Amino acid sequence: MRNYGQQNRYSHDRIGLNSRLDEVQAAVLNVRLPILAHSTRRRQAIAESYRTGISSDYVEMLVRPTRTENHVYHLFVVTSPFRDQLQQHCISAGVETLIHYPIPVHRQKPFEDLAGDPFGLRHSEEHADRCLSLPCRPNLSDNEISRVIEAINSFVP
């Protein structure tokens, strides 16, 4: 229940909550709060490096947020019709990526009885099939950022 109702990653058997913060995590967060603004600026810089450096014909950027000064870039997500091949290519290049939210909400068990669009939710399903999260942690070095960009740009399906 405390982790969005999921027992297996991204598979939600029931409607749950986001209440995973215990006392130790709260203490760590309290210590890290003073560097939050710096971390956010670094993530924004990484995102901008990706936006200007990635030029692959096989990778699409999500629409740039209209208010980038407030965007924290918790994730930097790209899409590709060759997502799984791209992920394997990145692994071979020493770049770790993740697939976040591969099952759309309307396909989760708690919502299977809700009335839905009889034609489906094409955009949600396409995004779930194509999305790939690139590394965007604030402690990435400029060299590591360049390696990510190089791996993406060298991908050919």
Residues 13 and 5: beta-carbon distance below 8 Å: yes
> Which pLDDT does position 20 carry in this prediction?
67
Helix, strand, coil percent values for the chain (each to nearest 5): 45, 10, 45
Residue range 37-49, pLDDT digits in tens? 999 999 999 999 9
Q: 6-153 — its CATH code?
A: 3.90.1150.10
Helix axes 36-53, 142-153, angle to 10 degrees: 30
Reported pTM: 0.82
> Which pLDDT does position 138 carry in this prediction?
96
Residue range 37-90, pLDDT digits in tens? 999 999 999 999 999 999 999 999 999 888 777 889 999 999 999 999 999 999
Closest of 13, 110, 101 to residue 5, by C-alpha: 13
> Which pLDDT does position 103 carry in this prediction?
87
Question: Where are the chain's structural domains?
Answer: 6-153
Query: pLDDT higher for 85 or 114?
Result: 85
Say whether pLDDT at 96 is over 90.
yes
